Amino acid sequence: MSRDEQLKLRWAEVEEKLSRQFADGEKLELDAIIYIIGLQELGQLHRKYKKDHKLDLMHIAICRLLEPYGYYEFEYYDDEGWPHYKVLEHLPTLRAGEQAVLMKEAIVQYFLEKEYIK
């Protein structure tokens, strides 16, 4: 099986499992999955978040997802428990489709590491 085919199968599994768990089976968009990862990484699931904090949660997720690729490095947790990352290398300019593939690949890897999928 090619790498692309494996990514498609694993992405479908992530999408299906998360959609069942968080959206009553309605297909979640990529941004919603990134948001869920941000919540997971922050670990403060009981809170209600305003729009600005929702964007911050997505930023946390993106930093965490791209950390293994060498783009970000975890620095510290602040007094409120929010993780902070520093930029190690700026992302190259990517077309929208390339960005989506990179994020899907990183998300699949994240959920493989968490043993959410196999």
Residues 14-25: tens digit of each pLDDT: 999 999 999 998
Q: How far apart, in Å, do the first and last CA atoms of the chain sit?
A: 15
What rounded mean pLDDT belongs to the chain?
A: 93
11 in Cβ contact with 103 (< 8 Å): no
Task: Say which residue the tokens 């600005």 belong to.
Answer: 52
Q: What is the pLDDT of residues 47-82, one digit of tens each?
A: 888 888 899 999 999 999 999 999 999 999 999 999
Q: Where are the alpha helices (DSSP H) in 23-95?
A: 30-42, 51-66
Q: What pLDDT is attached to residue 102?
A: 95
Q: Residues 41-51: what's their mean pLDDT?
A: 86
Q: Residues 87-113: what's their mean pLDDT?
A: 94
Domain residue spans in the chain?
3-113
What percent of the chain has pLDDT above 90? 82
